[in-house]
Amino acid sequence: MASAVIRLVRRPAAALLIARSCRHVRQLSHHMLPGGLVCSKPARELTMLLPRASPYQMWSRSFASENGDLVDAVVPFMGESITDGTLATFLKKPGDRVEVDEPIAQIETDKVTIDVNSPEAGIIQKFVAKEGDTVTPGTKVAVISKSYPSDTHVAPSDDKVVKDAQPPSPPTGAPQPTPPTEKIDKQVLKEEGSTKEKPKVPSAATLPKTSPSEPQLPPKERERRVPMPRLRKRVATRLKDSQNTFAMLTTFNEVDMTNLMKLRSEYKDAFVEKHGVKLGLMSGFVKAAVSGLQNQPIINAVIDGDDIIYRDYVDISIAVGTPKGLVVPVIRNAGRLNFAGIEKEINNLAKKANNGTISIDEMAGGTFTISNGGVYGSLMSTPIINPPQSAILGMHSIVSRPMVVDGNIIPRPMMYVALTYDHRLIDGREAVFFLRRIKDVVEDPRRLLLDL
């Protein structure tokens, strides 16, 4: 038997035929060509060496491996502090065409939403993971086929058999006879319908009696239970930890917005023309906060065990509310930026936050936070500290109120501002001086030019 196999293998055609029967073969390590030539090449490269009219070329197509066209889409690295995430949703369906680096799924983590991109252009063959699964970096999510699926055709003989198996349809004008079994079924249904009794209506005596003191709760059908998103879980945990850790105290003041609003109104067109971004009120408060932190360095510090860490830089965190939850991107080195630089950075970070494309690095760190609840119409609030920081400034809505100016009562656009601080580290004196500095700079922005 062994000698017979050896004789077959010495023939090139027989060698290819034997390989054709081995469907598990992914790559032939040695191929024997006419003349006894032995080479180590994939089967696809070997077939290119054969003549076009050769039967070997035709046979090689039937056992060429297709697994080389399959690639896996895996969960990417999600950040140093993130170990896992939840597969939130699939952006594509099996059978959809995808390009290189095109997002096919989204992973929801404690901080950001991360896309799973296709490593190659091709067709999504199947999804390995399911929505709601907890995944880690490197987990396989989908299988991508780099080859296009070929159109399937019905063989002529099969098509003929199917057509022959179908009975001939009767002429359109001829009446169709009713089967006798259908007549019997109709008669039986008619008799059963006439003999059925009407349903009995329950009387008042048979109904269960409820106690007058028993509360009438809404039915469970009117309630919906959905899993909490990971971002919301993370926000809830951090806010509760902040409440349990810090000795939080809030002090308030009010700011006359007349001069800052006048400054914006006078230079808004020229500002947009030169810098390509609108002049808002947030940049004025960021500059005021930088000035206040420089005057009161303890507001920019933090407790670390038995030590106090003083930060000689100012990174301002801006709280941004998104449809998926609250995120806090950071403006790096805010003290070195001018009004235009601050406005550009705020717009860029806000767009990324709302689109879900903000990265972990853009939210890490931060020495002081500004939260603007006024965009939602909040008149006054007590913001919660964002750890590991020691204070947070809360802005609120601008309301026209009667104010006494030079002995006269006139309407002025006023805003309440709040500073929540860690009373373990910051005394009331420093907190009030800081908030007073915010008020002075916003009410008279010229102080920034004169360093007053």
Please list the active-site residues: 423, 427
Q: Which residue stretches of 178-255 are H helix?
A: 180-195, 230-245
Tokens of 355: 């689109």
Torsion over CA of 216, 220, 222 and 223, rounded to 10 degrees? 120
Is 411:401 a contact under the CB 8 Å cutoff? Answer: yes
Helices then strands, each counted (H, E), the chain? 12, 21
Enumerate long-range contacts of 123-130, CB under 8 Å, 24 or more apart.
123/95, 123/96, 123/97, 123/98, 123/147, 123/148, 123/149, 124/92, 124/93, 124/94, 124/95, 124/96, 124/98, 125/70, 125/94, 126/94, 127/90, 127/94, 129/87, 130/87
**Residue bearing tokens 């880690």:** 136
String of DSSP letters for 18-61: HHHH-TT-S--S-EEETTTEEE---HHHHHHHS-TT-HHHHHHH
CA 73 to chain centre: 17
Rounded alpha-carbon distances, angstroms, from residue 129 to 89, 94, 114, 139: 11, 12, 16, 9
Tokens of 318: 């801006």
